[in-house]
Structure 1
């Protein structure tokens, strides 16, 4: 392939994202559509044991992110986790991981767009959901066409809105519980709802296991800090700070917020098809506040989609740089934005949004796309762990010099890998998630054929 040349200032992605951008991007990635929209379904499936599910997944996710952090900081030439996967596992791993992560975000953005369409119907019931969904996609494309720094600013303020929303919900819930507020449905706000025996496993152990699917999707995006590494100032200081804060964020924004929802509304009154964040204010008799929260949740979905649009364009740019995607995707605009990658990814997402024509029920589409995304996220996290294991065997010298070693090392990497494989097997329990699990092998077969074809042309290069 003929290399694409650029001006002297634009030979690659620019490190224009500051510490505050990265901290809020990583925090915004941890507070996504899965929490605001999908948590109602998980509570309906798993009851109060959802709190345990989020703590378990968060525990293992922390070690995945620590493995990623050590790998990225072991060699600052690594621009994303596809780079170190290629270096330590091989070029095939970089090919599979890069394309799978790209698809996972494309699918996740479709899910976010679907949710945006559903939230607009809260105000305009007769409005077709695809109209606001497509409008959001075009708006995010326009924002991402501009500079990387603008993306950081947009995501910064999106994240601020999400944080305020969660903290407000927690504050209102504390007041309602403290005053033993009685909702119009006759439910008295009380911490006792968290300890009701029948609410812990309302659908038995199978319901508990089924809750892992949406919960995994909720955490998709936490690894986004790994794709922003190439555009981060001082990654040695910024990345560890963002990763180390993950446990606190999970406890505050997932465990505490969902505990508040259950304490106010009780498990039995949480709707699986609506946002529990919006429903809490409706149940509490604050319809105006519910409308405001609906807007906040809408911006949250837009924020998650914004992260996805950014991430897909950067991953496709990286694949092209490795020779694993057409060379046109290496082209950068004058502001160092991978414009061709951005345009192609956005176009594919718009096709995905057209699923709304086939499945007008928002939660039906959301379940399908969230399951596919969860499978691809599990694959991504697993590959990161495998790359870490290969790195420990191949470069003990780099590990010895590392200033950000993964706690537990090799043993914890194997334990976390086993947990992810266990969660993958759980997707076979329910018909709606089993379908996606059965279909996804076709994606990897397609990747294998594509890799064989590209390798035959002799253009695959090591990361």
Structure 2
């Protein structure tokens, strides 16, 4: 039966939503970004991932609480309920920009992994192929998209599990290798903190970028069956798995090889499999890497199109983006996202050597702002719940306040860090443009439309 105009289909099952959140997080950040964080912090990056995981849990718990109190209201809608039009407008568009950047990073990373098999094909050409694949997947009805993403995410989760098991066998000597003393690899070469606490702190931005994507369940809520019951379970399971899939692999890498021998030329995961001497390991792992980053980009296309749909439905983007195709998808939103992604992919033609490094830090800034607003919205809305939320953040308001202070401290410190000048400029300019646009859109909407929305607004 053809879906009603202006309505998204509720075709996502609990397993789809949980694996989508995992898919958004397990991508370039762990498979390629881990080499960067290891070079910044050495073995102490494990602590950075654990601290980042704790902050992630608080953010996700706050989101689950609000979702149980306000079913079918997504992240932007929750911010609107808490703070009104302008913060909602800014967060909605900032989240859209964030995912456009993340998708671009994932696609270019996927293309760089494909060059392992096709070294003579330029990076930009392979990036175009990757773009065509993920846009095509998102043109399917959401239930089919969810099923494909479930299996995509399953491949990389299976690979990480195999890596953890194999790594543990190597560390305990069950698999022959050149590893003589795992403890020496961890504590030698400058110790746990070879670059001091500042090195661990410097890695935090890439860590936050790596964990960004968990809040995708707050976008998928409007297409999830029985979201009020499902989301709290998804939050608990997702956060635990992500911490395990980040902290344990990094611990294994640091035990198997000295952190200062990890190079950015290939993934640390490929280096470990090569060390194990398994025939064809490099090819298998490279296939997993390609699947992983394309899966994360696939989730990103979903996030950008649904965010733009919500923005348009509430008068914060052109109404053309509320149009739903026969398959029940926001087609115009997908097409606009594709155009901006292609513009980002063009950077791989201009600066193929440095493009991933330039782009990877910027989403770290934007996702921190989104996380801070989620926590702030939970603090504001807790007193306004009409019904008691079925899931509640423990030790409220202290846990939420701790997350806000910690995230704000990281954000401010990186703004004033000269090494992050490019990311800082892009982030602040983007914020300025979005803020100015919010005044323009509000003026064009008029008071009548604004008053009506105050009474009826619910993002679905």
With normalisation by structure 1, the TM-score equals: 0.93
Shift of 1:9: 3.4
Which stretch of the first structure deviates more once superposed, 59-68 or 408-417? 408-417
Matched with 2:281 is 289
Alpha-carbon spacing, 1:432–1:129, altered in 2? closer, same or farther (3 Å) = farther
Alpha-carbon spacing, 1:43–1:246, altered in 2? closer, same or farther (3 Å) = same
1:435 aligns with 2:422: yes
Which stretch of the first structure deviates more once superposed, 42-51 or 186-195? 186-195
CA deviation digits over 1:378-426, x for unaligned, max 9?
0110111111121124x1554xx11101122222211100111111134
| Conservation of the 8 A alpha-carbon contact between 2:209 and 2:364 | yes
Matched with 2:52 is 57
Shift of 1:122: 1.3
1:300 to 288, 292, 298: 292
- Give the Cα–Cα distance (whole angstroms) in 2 for the partners of residues 287 and 275 of structure 1: 18
1:98 aligns with 2:98: no
- Give the Cα–Cα distance (whole angstroms) in 1 for the partners of residues 270 and 2 of structure 2: 49
- Give the Cα–Cα distance (whole angstroms) in 2 for the partners of residues 221 and 380 of structure 1: 11
Alpha-carbon spacing, 1:192–1:182, altered in 2? closer, same or farther (3 Å) = farther
Aligned residues: 450
CA RMSD, Structure 1 to Structure 2 (Å): 2.0
- Give the Cα–Cα distance (whole angstroms) in 2 for the partners of residues 132 and 241 of structure 1: 38
Structure 2 gaps of 5+ residues are: none
- Give the Cα–Cα distance (whole angstroms) in 1 for the partners of residues 192 and 417 of structure 2: 19
CA deviation digits over 1:136-170, x for unaligned, max 9?
11111111112001110111011110111101111
1:30 aligns with 2:25: yes
- Give the Cα–Cα distance (whole angstroms) in 2 for the partners of residues 338 and 329 of structure 1: 7
Matched with 1:339 is 331
Alpha-carbon spacing, 1:285–1:431, altered in 2? closer, same or farther (3 Å) = farther
CA deviation digits over 1:334-375, x for unaligned, max 9?
1210000111111111111100111111xx212221211111
- Give the Cα–Cα distance (whole angstroms) in 1 for the partners of residues 53 and 292 of structure 2: 20
Matched with 1:3 is none
- SS of the residue corresponding to residue 310 of structure 1 reads helix
- Give the Cα–Cα distance (whole angstroms) in 2 for the partners of residues 331 and 133 of structure 1: 28
Matched with 1:419 is 406
Alpha-carbon spacing, 1:133–1:71, altered in 2? closer, same or farther (3 Å) = same
Matched with 1:241 is 233
State how 1:39-54 maps to structure 2 within 5 Å. 39-54=34-49
1:388 aligns with 2:378: yes
| Conservation of the 8 A alpha-carbon contact between 1:43 and 1:272 | no
- Give the Cα–Cα distance (whole angstroms) in 2 for the partners of residues 95 and 256 of structure 1: 38
- Give the Cα–Cα distance (whole angstroms) in 1 for the partners of residues 55 and 341 of structure 2: 30
Which stretch of the first structure deviates more once superposed, 244-253 or 319-328? 244-253
Structure 1 gaps of 5+ residues are: 1-5
Shift of 1:194: 2.6
Shift of 1:432: 4.6
1:215 aligns with 2:217: no
Matched with 2:366 is 376
1:135 aligns with 2:122: no
CA deviation digits over 1:36-65, x for unaligned, max 9?
110011011111111100100100110111
Matched with 1:446 is 433
- SS of the residue corresponding to residue 162 of structure 2 reads helix
Matched with 1:83 is 77
1:126 to 88, 100, 120: 120
Which stretch of the first structure deviates more once superposed, 222-231 or 441-450? 441-450
Shift of 1:285: 3.2
2:61 to 59, 63, 66: 66
2:263 to 241, 246, 271: 271
- SS of the residue corresponding to residue 190 of structure 2 reads helix
State how 1:345-356 maps to structure 2 within 5 Å. 345-356=337-348
| Conservation of the 8 A alpha-carbon contact between 1:28 and 1:303 | yes
| Conservation of the 8 A alpha-carbon contact between 1:392 and 1:410 | no
2:196 to 204, 208, 221: 204
